Amino acid sequence: MQQGRIETSQGYFEIARPTLEAHDYDREVLWSKWDNASDSQRRLAEKWLPAVQAADEMLNQGISTKTAFATVAGHYQVSASTLRDKYYQVQKFAKPDWAAALVDGRGASRRNVHKSEFDEDAWQFLIADYLRPEKPAFRKCYERLELAAREHGWSIPSRATAFRRIQQLDEAMVVACREGEHALMHLIPAQQRTVEHLDAMQWINGDGYLHNVFVRWFNGDVIRPKTWFWQDVKTRKILGWRCDVSENIDSIRLSFMDVVTRYGIPEDFHITIDNTRGAANKWLTGGAPIATALR
């Protein structure tokens, strides 16, 4: 017996094998399924490949189908019926492509098939319609997509599949386009600040407050006085204050003098002040160049 031939009383006969047309299938599409498969899917295909190849060689030697599948299945410890299915599964493909043909069609490659059915122009039409500030319902967007698809000859999936694609869009982008920047801000968690790492008098903050009452000042004028406060950031304690007719350099410097006189100046000391005309002056900043809306 020779490979691909069988001897009979009438002589040798060539065993007929199915011939493949040059363009029976698209190799690029077939191997894209391999590329999109998971690692476990590729390992499973590689596991079945030598068994299928061995069965093919035995059949080429003229061994009966039942014997060939049973023998190879016993050697590789696999199911003979499954081996038979795998063998016939790859028969329409060239042998160099059998590994890709053995990849399970379920999983990642299946999801890509759904995406390939959605023409890119149709997809762009749908998201442009859906991501409008008018916030149209998806049902109406899909109805308009169907009309446009018939007009342009686009290939589109079912409404459920298209809706799943929409749900995969970035949430921040959807909110920004449909609801605006203010709604987008609510997606960001509120900042949580803490003073646990600070010590008392490590950081003080100064700010002015315009009182909501009218008083008669020492000179007889009726005014709303303004008080400058220094507060410890760690303990929230008011360390010093001075009240005056306005927020000015005198009230700021005198109140700060009270703080230093009473508590001293710690080694690690930081000050934060309000950026106002009264605070941003050369007496307090030492003439440092600054840029404010008031200058």
Under 8 Å between Cβ of 30 and 101: yes
3 state DSSP class of 17: coil
As beta bridge partners, residue 227 has: 209, 243
Joined together, the tokens standing for residue 233 give 């950031």
Residue 188 pLDDT = 84
Residue 155 and residue 197: Cα distance in Å, rounded?
Answer: 60
Given CA atoms 44, 45, 46, 47 in this order, what sign does their dihedral have?
A: positive
Average pLDDT, the chain: 83
Q: Does 203-284 match 120-187 at the fold level?
A: no
As beta bridge partners, residue 216 has: 222
Residue 272 and residue 259: Cα distance in Å, rounded?
Answer: 14
Q: pTM value?
A: 0.39
Nearest to 36 by CA among 91, 113, 88: 113
Cα dihedral: 86, 91, 93, 95 (round 10): 80
For the chain, give every domain's residue range.
25-102, 120-187, 203-284
Share of the chain above pLDDT 90, in %: 43
- Pairing label, strands 5-8, 11-14: antiparallel
Residue 34 pLDDT = 85
What tens-digit pLDDT sequence spans the chain (295 residues)? 445 565 555 566 565 555 544 446 777 778 888 888 888 888 898 999 999 999 999 988 888 888 989 999 999 998 888 888 889 888 888 888 899 889 876 544 444 444 447 888 999 999 999 999 999 999 999 999 999 999 998 889 888 889 999 998 999 999 999 999 899 888 888 888 889 999 999 999 999 999 999 999 999 999 999 999 999 999 999 999 999 999 888 899 999 999 999 999 888 899 988 777 777 666 666 666 655 544 3
Residue 116 pLDDT = 44
- DSSP H or E run through 235: none
Residue 13 and residue 5: Cα distance in Å, rounded?
Answer: 5
Does the 120-187 domain belong in CATH 3.90.230.10?
no
Residue 91 and residue 14: Cα distance in Å, rounded?
Answer: 18
Joined together, the tokens standing for residue 193 give 């600040």
Residue 211 pLDDT = 94
Q: Which CATH class is domain 203-284?
A: alpha beta
Does the 25-102 domain belong in CATH 3.40.50.2000?
no
